[in-house]
Amino acid sequence: MTKSIRNIAIIAHVDHGKTTLVDAMLRQSGIFRANQELVERVMDSNDLERERGITILAKNTEIEYQGTKINIVDTPGHSDFGGEVERALRMVDGVLVLVDASEGPLPQTRYVLQKALAAKLPPIMVLNKIDRPDARPAEVLDEIYDLFIDLDATEDQLDFPVIYTNAKLGVAHLKVGDDSTTLQPLFEQIVKSIPPPAGDPAAALQIQVTNLDYSDFLGRLAIARVFGGTLVRGTEVGIVKLDGKIQPTKITKLFTFRGLERDEAEEVTAGDIVAIAGVEGIQIGESITDLANPAPLEPLTIDEPTLTMVFTINTSPFAGREGQYVTSRDLRARLEKELLTNVSLRVEDTGTTDAFRVLGRGELQLAILIETMRREGYELMVGKPEIVVRTENGRRLEPLELLIVDCPENFIGIVMELLGNRRGEMKKMVNHNSGRVRMEFSIPSRGLIGLRSQLMTDTRGTALIHSLLEGWTEYAGDMAMRLTGALVSDRSGVSTAYAIWGIQERGEMFVGPAIEVYEGMILGENAREDDMNVNVTKEKKQTNMRSSSADEAIRLIPPRDMTLEKAIEFIADDEFVEVTPKSIRLRKKVLDAKKRPKRWQEIRASTESA
């Protein structure tokens, strides 16, 4: 019996509608009962994904279309999770490249397409959101051809089919405006132009683990692609570990996908995407092969991390009050566990046993890890994100980014100045005559740290920014980042409305009244560039004298809500973010006001202004 199979990944820039399209495909495949209630974007199943409305982890599902099994991998669009996309591509034989019909191709479109073309995966171009009033499908299609040419696509690759979709409604068209009312044209295109998986069921067994998942019932699941041969449940096989050692094992729990469920399978063959449970310690990149005649597959290669942050135990006076896991041993064990599933992450030791250097692809990726840990009950502190610097032939190199800023015309000057200060070089400016412009910069990755929040303030929330790692460049020298100092508590105690009322004119507060504070804790952003020690615990003196000013009602400006990401973007070299399950606090590394060095404005004074 030959099975008809297609394995595809859906790839795109962030928010272009991948998960929504998978939703529609699932619904129209008849996999759900008619009355089954489904949440929107059902594949974004973890808490953080639902809260943020973004996909973080690549996930598998399977549908059936007229006798053909279509395995679909939904991938994240945010550049920090590019490692997920790279692995997903290893599992499939073709890709749906989704592009927003109004926004057009953006940096992550370029990145994922480049990876897909390099892997020789045939693409189907899907122009989505054609219902948007500002959709411009014809122009966007031209931009896509330009992108393919720019990426040195072959003639064959340029000959891609195009489908127009409204993923929200679940409609696909071969031509804009034709009378289709379902996704059928898309399903047909997949069956027609994506090749069935190659690989011989009679050949030597070759399976590669490309992802891990977890089930409450089954524990750890390895998601894998069968490249060759046949695996019968219960037979003895060898797991080729990453160091080349072979570990014999019996695979007794074997599954294939069906919608959001998994079906037990007795046998899987070349071309199948499967889930395997019950194999202790199995890791991403490992192969499963015949014990007698091992034929391991090349391990996966994943782009290098570009950003690093120090994670250390909480040493604040409040340490251990709010979290369950607080020791360096807890921290190390948790980070090691993360490495098993998160292959684009790296952890290095530092000079002390209390601190670890965690390397990843971006601020969001690390923030998600920290947020996950805090929800699990961990307390820790993290330092300012730094860019990974490499030395090659005696030259110091740093990562360089392609940055696209889309903003209203009247902010061009402000944006150019801000990026100029961060050593950004403008390469291109396009005016779509819609009142908005799109500017392209080449900028060291360092220049992106904290950029988003600054840009949002400067453009009153109107700018859209996207970036993509472009390569490595000669280290560009120091860069002035935060131009303001901190308001720092000079003692421990409880904040009072009266004291805040006195301090708030100095800058912007991060804490309101009745908050416990400690010496060295950061209470707000100083409007000036130096740090200022303040007493936020001062009580109003009881007095019989009536003075007009003392009786003035105390009006407090609401404090700035420092989320984890904002806090990470804010801190300077001599500061930490303290993270516990209940609180995000900012603090100076040196808490004692008398011992604290006069900090970074001195460093900056020695830096030539950019």
Ligand X SMILES: Nc1nc2c(ncn2[C@@H]2O[C@H](COP(=O)(O)OP(=O)(O)OP(=O)(O)O)[C@@H](O)[C@H]2O)c(=O)[nH]1
- Tell me the closest approach of the beta carbon of residue 53 to ligand X, in angstroms: 6
Structure tokens at 7: 């394995």
Per-position x/- string for 113-132, each x denoting binding to ligand X as judged by CB under 6 A, each - no binding: ---------------xx-xx
Residue number with CB closer to ligand X (41 or 566): 41
Using CA atoms, how far apart are residues 314 and 351, in angstroms rounded to an integer? 17
- Tell me the closest approach of the beta carbon of residue 132 to ligand X, in angstroms: 5
Using CA atoms, how far apart are residues 409 and 40, in angstroms rounded to an integer? 35
Binding status of residue 588 toward ligand X by CB under 6 A: no
- 465 backbone dihedrals φ, ψ, rounded to 5°: -130, 145
Binding status of residue 17 toward ligand X by CB under 6 A: yes
Strand partners, 380: 579
Torsion sign over Cα 541, 547, 549, 552: positive
Binding status of residue 19 toward ligand X by CB under 6 A: yes
Using CA atoms, how far apart are residues 237 and 222, in angstroms rounded to an integer? 15
Binding status of residue 55 toward ligand X by CB under 6 A: yes
- Segment contacting ligand X by CB under 6 A, of 76-84, 372-380, 384-392, 496-504: 76-84
- Tell me the closest approach of the beta carbon of residue 262 to ligand X, in angstroms: 22
Binding status of residue 466 toward ligand X by CB under 6 A: no
Across 354-409, the runs of DSSP E, i.e. the strands, are 355-360, 380-382, 386-387, 390-392, 395-408
> Which ranges in 159-232 belong to alpha helices (H)?
184-193
- Segment contacting ligand X by CB under 6 A, of 70-78, 317-325, 427-435, 529-537: 70-78
Binding partner of residue 131 among Mg ion, ligand X, none, CB under 5 to 8 Å per kind? ligand X
Give 428's contacts (C-beta < 8 A, 6+ positions apart).
439, 440
Question: For the purposes of burial, counting CB atoms within 10 Å of the CB of 296, is it exposed (0-12), middle (13-18) or buried (19 or more)?
Answer: middle
- 416 backbone dihedrals φ, ψ, rounded to 5°: -65, -40
Per-position x/- string for 139-168, each x denoting binding to ligand X as judged by CB under 6 A, each - no binding: ---------------------------xxx
| CB distance 537 to 491 below 8 Å | yes
Binding partner of residue 132 among ligand X, Mg ion, none, CB under 5 to 8 Å per kind? ligand X
Helix, strand or coil, per DSSP, at residue 327: coil
Helix, strand or coil, per DSSP, at residue 82: helix
Residue number with CB closer to ligand X (134 or 139): 134
- Tell me the closest approach of the beta carbon of residue 130 to ligand X, in angstroms: 7
Residue number with CB closer to ligand X (41 or 422): 41
Binding status of residue 136 toward ligand X by CB under 6 A: no
- Tell me the closest approach of the beta carbon of residue 190 to ligand X, in angstroms: 18
Residue number with CB closer to ligand X (57 or 500): 57
Question: Site for ligand X (CB under 6 A): which residue of 5, 15, 570, 586?
Answer: 15
- Under rule CB under 6 A, which residues in 165-204 are in contact with ligand X? 166-168
Binding partner of residue 20 among ligand X, Mg ion, none, CB under 5 to 8 Å per kind? ligand X
> How many helices (H) and strands (E) are present in the chain, helices listed first?
15, 35
| Closest of 519, 502, 522 to residue 511, by C-alpha | 522
| CB distance 290 to 204 below 8 Å | yes
Binding partner of residue 228 among Mg ion, ligand X, none, CB under 5 to 8 Å per kind? none
Residue number with CB closer to Mg ion (13 or 136): 13
Torsion sign over Cα 131, 135, 139, 144: negative
| CB distance 150 to 189 below 8 Å | no
Helix, strand or coil, per DSSP, at residue 236: strand
| Closest of 385, 418, 311, 373 to residue 568, by C-alpha | 385
Using CA atoms, how far apart are residues 345 and 568, in angstroms rounded to an integer? 18
- Tell me the closest approach of the beta carbon of residue 160 to Mg ion, in angstroms: 22
- Segment contacting ligand X by CB under 6 A, of 15-23, 272-280, 481-489, 514-522: 15-23
- Tell me the closest approach of the beta carbon of residue 215 to ligand X, in angstroms: 22
- Tell me the closest approach of the beta carbon of residue 137 to ligand X, in angstroms: 12
- Tell me the closest approach of the beta carbon of residue 185 to Mg ion, in angstroms: 22
Checking DSSP bridges between strand 219-228 and strand 230-232, what pairing results, if any?
unpaired
Q: How many residues bind ligand X (CB under 6 A)?
A: 22
Binding partner of residue 16 among Mg ion, ligand X, none, CB under 5 to 8 Å per kind? ligand X
- Tell me the closest approach of the beta carbon of residue 213 to Mg ion, in angstroms: 16
- Tell me the closest approach of the beta carbon of residue 348 to ligand X, in angstroms: 29
- Tell me the closest approach of the beta carbon of residue 279 to Mg ion, in angstroms: 29
Residue number with CB closer to ligand X (260 or 610): 260
Torsion sign over Cα 89, 94, 100, 106: positive
Binding status of residue 14 toward ligand X by CB under 6 A: yes
Helix, strand or coil, per DSSP, at residue 431: strand
Using CA atoms, how far apart are residues 224 and 430, in angstroms rounded to an integer? 43
Binding status of residue 253 toward ligand X by CB under 6 A: no
Using CA atoms, how far apart are residues 109 and 88, in angstroms rounded to an integer? 15
Binding status of residue 517 toward ligand X by CB under 6 A: no
Binding status of residue 59 toward ligand X by CB under 6 A: no
Binding status of residue 60 toward ligand X by CB under 6 A: no
What residues line the site for ligand X (CB under 6 A)? 12, 14-20, 41, 53-55, 76-78, 128-129, 131-132, 166-168
